[in-house]
Structure 1
Amino acid sequence: MDPAVLAQQAVDSMLLRGPDIGITPRPGGKGVVGMPVYMWTATGTETYGPNTASASAGGITVTATARVSKIVWNMGDGKTVTCTSAGTPYKPEYGKQASPDCGHRYDKPSSTTGSGAFHVTATSTWSIDWQVTGGAQTGTLTEIRTSAVDINVAEVQVLN
């Protein structure tokens, strides 16, 4: 049995999901042009890893371990942000401070889109290392998963 085939069988038995999107502003709420947007994902085995599974056949056992290596956020305004961490959930005490590891700022309101919202997609790249138990054979595989939300960003106007 080809160990790479067993590795793919182990991966196929895993539940690997797209990011469990956390974002400010929250879907259903409103953000403000120029204010920091924080993006993050929950760090469970299905949404960030590590996630491990094994498959066996013909006296060979292969163990695969999957971890998210990056998340590419398409912000819906023509810009993308690549994050190599799970991101930092926003807390009110952060105020106007930018996210330390995974953030964005909109420079126009979502009302400028046809739908009135920014359609944000988050695409995880799962890097999967596998090895034959008791053997020297190893390899890597990649899986891609995507999640999406819509958010609203408004413009604040000051009157004198």
Structure 2
Amino acid sequence: MALPLAGAVTVSVLSGSAQADGGRVYCPPDGSPCRIIAEDTVTTPGQKGGDRGGSRQSGHSGGKPTCRDDSTGGAGQEVPCHLDGFGSWDSKTSCYYQLANPQPPAGDPAWEGRSPGDGAIYDAYCPNHDAGFLTQWFATPPGGAAQPVDPEVLALEAVKKMTLLGPDIASPKASGKFAVGMPVWMHINRSPNTFGPVTASASAGAVTVTATAKVSTIRWSMGDGTTVTCTKPGTPYKPAYGKRESPDCGHLYTTTSASRPGDKFTVTATSTWGIDWQGGGQSGQLTETRESQVEIAVGEVQVLG
């Protein structure tokens, strides 16, 4: 991230503040480098840009609150309450905060051992701190002011919690016996993580998004150059069905697998998950895919004379 708001500047000011082109010059009383703090450009009818919104209120009524940097001593240096790209001012820590977008993945050190959705990670810009930019976890939005939350980002976090898996292939089995011209019945074992529905939620501050996922199609790549798309988990085969073809998810091989590596076809089942989410006053759809594989041998029908 660039640092357009903080840095050493040369000015003819010993302490306090003065106006500079494009912003306010602030020189800390301890002699540390001066900084240019951009003026807030948000205005309301009948008001000037200096009447700002933020987390610390001024004494006059009817106008927007005023924000001050308490670390400057005395009454505090007035600062913009919001900076585009940096977030909203928190007078307690003298930093600007905004929700990190995207949120770090599970296991990232920023979560400090917590799970995504347990609070949220915020990017901080602290003009008067040596660190400058920080990334920190908060249970609630810092400064007590709601931070912008992208519900779709939370939807993606909810999807990560679901542990969506590829199809649990029950047939064809690697140990099965398959022959050219004989019907193959494909089906999977159903579970929430392999077929759905499965539901999970993620939260950031006061916003909670809930997502529900279920498999819409399973695309079977049979290894012989053909594909079969099924909208159902498939029907298990029973000996009583004889040579009948599957009513909802089947295939008929016309060649053997003898010319393939290991004398087997690699069958790949790819599930497409349709995900509906809602929260934060919005709703939408997402799509995820997962796959599983099995290798099967297909031979010629042996006729005994």
The runs of 5 or more residues in structure 1 that have no matched partner are: none
| 1:15 alignment partner AA | T
The runs of 5 or more residues in structure 2 that have no matched partner are: 1-148
| Structure 1 residue corresponding to 2:222, chosen from 67, 70, 75 | 75
Given the alignment of the two structures, is residue 8 of structure 1 paired with residue 156 of structure 2, yes or no? Answer: yes
Q: What are the superposed Cα offsets for residues 68-121 of structure 1, whole Å, 9 maximum, x if unpaired? A: 010000000000000011111111111111000000000011113232001000
The structural deviation recorded for 1:41 is: 1.2
Q: What are the superposed Cα offsets for residues 93-152 of structure 1, whole Å, 9 maximum, x if unpaired? A: 11111000000000011113232001000000001000016x3x1011111100000011
Relative contact order, CA 8 A, sep 6+: which one is greater? 1
Aligned to 1:53: 200
Query: Which SS does the other structure have where 2:263 is aligned?
Result: coil
TM-score normalised to the size of structure 2? 0.50
Greater than 6 Å deviation, 4+ residue runs? none
Bigger strand fraction:
1
Alignment of 1:3-42 (within 5 A): 3-24=151-172, 26-42=173-189
| Structure 2 residue corresponding to 1:84, chosen from 223, 227, 231 | 231
TM-score normalised to the size of structure 1? 0.93
Query: How many percent identity over aligned positions?
Result: 61
Alignment of 1:121-136 (within 5 A): 121-132=268-279, 135=281
**Greater Cα radius of gyration, structure 1 or 2:** 2
Distance 1:139 1:61 in 2: 14
Q: What is the root-mean-square deviation of aligned Cα atoms in Å? A: 1.3
Distance 1:87 1:13 in 2: 27
Distance 1:132 1:59 in 2: 10
